[in-house]
Each structure stands twice: as structure tokens, then as C-alpha cells.
Chains A and B, each alone.
Chain A
């Protein structure tokens, strides 16, 4: 299957700082990327959907000014957690989907964010 990478795999930051997480599709062009969040012992929750070159669509209850998503190219999307707080500590996972009739989503390995 297609390969999606995330960087960093783990990050620890202090409360009030911002953190950027990168999601890259390595061997295909991703017209759509999705960002999920997963708290311990819970399922994945979709945060937002981003299409290349346009603004992201956020799920209800997700603050767009706090979780900034940029999808400037067909192989890269970034999620920036602004003014992070301990309750933002979570496992953030991206997925990517190619264009046309390719409906499959390929997931990245995830980024473990810990806010102290």
C-alpha cells in the first residue's frame, strides 16, 4: 500500500507553546488529507479534512484557530497546535487519500504530543 509519514513521531512541549506536525504522502499525490486525534483507550476522532489548495473543513467542536491546518501541496499537510495546553496531549494521526477513484485512505504512524 501507499506510504504516509509523520514527523515528529513524538514531541514534548511546554504549555503555551505551539507545535507543528507534518504529514507527507511519500509515493502518491494526496488530494485530500485527514487529521485525527486519539486519546488513551479511546477511538480515533476526526478533527478536520483538508483538500489541497483550499481551507480545511473542521468537525464540530474542533477549534479551527487552535488547530491550524495547511495543505499547500499534494504531498504535504501540516497541523499546528497553537498555545498548547496539557489537555491537548494526545496521539495525532493523519491519513491521505489520492484523487480520482482512489477511495482508500492510508494512515501515518501517528505523533504522540505531550504538553507539560
Chain B
């Protein structure tokens, strides 16, 4: 699976949008972009995923650039409970020896402050 690069940490004011970038310049055509987050001492929580189109759900929006080499996770109105480590993961959804495996990087520590 392709490697991702994320900033180590980011801050965001409560109520504002949090925009978390991710670079995945070596992504291949069959690889999806996944976002998970992990609140302290809990298991990771799935947020959203996409292939090439922008995606939106009740938690967040995912913007993928046209060349698919980078993406941005947007939390439209961040709350204190959104403070967590956010992981951007690139993964093929079918076939290959890495099928189903998620490889976690260091992620971005997002701190939402009042």
C-alpha cells in the first residue's frame, strides 16, 4: 500500500472547520483513501473513505485532488470531542497480499481548543 504523509499536529478553534491534509503521491489506481481517528485510549473509529470523488457523510467531508496525490479531511464544525489522532491510510480494497490490511502511520494530532 502507498505511504502517506501527514502533519504531526494541528490546532483548531471550537466551532471552526478543521482541515487535515494528507499526501499520498505514490497512490495507485485501485487504492482508496481512508480516514480513521483515535481518541485517547480507545480503538480507532472509521470516519470516511473515497477513491477519486469527493465524499461527505455525517461526520466529515473528504476532498481528493484530481491527480489523487493528496486529500483533505474536513470537519466542518469542530468540537472539543473531535480532539484525537487522525490517520490517513491508503489501501487497496481487493486483491493482493495486503488485502484488508490497514497500515497506520503516525497520524495528525488534532487539538480543538475553546
A49 in complex: contacting residue of B36, B41, B42, B101, CB < 8 Å: B101
Quick check: which of B11-19, B43-51, B68-76 contacts chain A, the rest being far away? B43-51
Chain A interface SS verdict (over half): strand
Query: Is there an interface contact between A105 and B100, defined as CB atoms closer than 8 Å?
Result: yes
Query: Is there an interface contact between A43 and B105, defined as CB atoms closer than 8 Å?
Result: yes
| Nearest CB in chain B to that of A4: its residue | B43
Binding site for B on A (CB under 8 A): 1, 4, 6, 32, 34, 36, 43-46, 49, 91, 93, 95, 97, 103-110, 112
Interface magnitude class on chain B: 10 to 19
Query: Is there an interface contact between B101 and A110, defined as CB atoms closer than 8 Å?
Result: no
Residues of A within 8 A of B93 (CB): 103
Interface string of B85-106 (1 = CB under 8 A from A): 0010000011000001111111
Known: A34-B102, A105-B100. 11 other contacts (CB 8 A): A32-B100, A36-B104, A43-B104, A43-B107, A44-B38, A44-B104, A45-B104, A46-B101, A49-B101, A103-B93, A109-B43
Residues of B within 8 A of A112 (CB): 41
Most buried by B among A34, A49, A97, A105: A105
Query: Is there an interface contact between B102 and A110, defined as CB atoms closer than 8 Å?
Result: no
CA distance A44 to B85 in the complex (A): 11
Query: Is there an interface contact between A1 and B104, defined as CB atoms closer than 8 Å?
Result: no
The A-contacting residues of B in range 24-73, CB under 8 angstroms, are: 36, 38, 41-46
Residues of B within 8 A of A44 (CB): 38, 44, 104
CA distance A49 to B36 in the complex (A): 19
